[in-house]
Amino acid sequence: MKRMTALVFVTAFVIGACNTGDKKTDAAKDKYEQTKETLEETEKKNPARFLTVTGHDKKNLLGQTVVKGMLNNTAKVASYKDIEIKLFFYSKTKALLEEDVETIFETLAPGKSAEFKTKYFAPKGTDSVALKIVGAKGE
């Protein structure tokens, strides 16, 4: 009888210990998914925080200002599309001459980059162009 009781206790303990491990694994998976969702929500709400733009400009033969640039997505989860860039046209004395908004109709996956090119008839006296991310749609 003592052996039977001991066997029942040992079996119950082993079964209980096995189930506890599954609960820990499930809890860890749930926490990971919640963190991932929270990260994705944060990235989608703040595209300007996770997108960067660099570029340079030059004049072509027609007198247009050609702006070539590179978009980078530093987000870990979120993809962005229809990225809006604000262009600032400055004179030699750094006076702001004009502002324009350009939309780049591409989808940029997490960790990826994309090149773009646009042309403008910039205001007279333009010496340089600055670029800034204004917004984007989360995909």
Give the start-to-end residue ranges of the domains of the chain.
1-45, 47-138
In 3D space, the residue among 37, 23, 55 whose CA is nearest the CA of residue 133 turns out to be 55
Q: Which amino acid is at 116?
A: F
Give CATH for domain 47-138: 2.60.40.3230
pLDDT digits (tens, 9 = 90+) for 17-55: 555 555 667 776 777 776 766 778 888 888 989 999 999
Local structure of residue 123 (DSSP, 8 states)? P
Q: Is the pLDDT of residue 112 over 90?
A: yes
pLDDT of residue 135: 92
pTM of the model: 0.68
Q: Any idea which residue has 């733009």 for tokens?
A: 53
Q: What phi and psi values does residue 132 have, to the nearest 5 degrees?
A: -150, 135
Q: In the structure, what pLDDT confidence band is assigned to residue 16 with cuts at 50, 70 and 90?
A: low
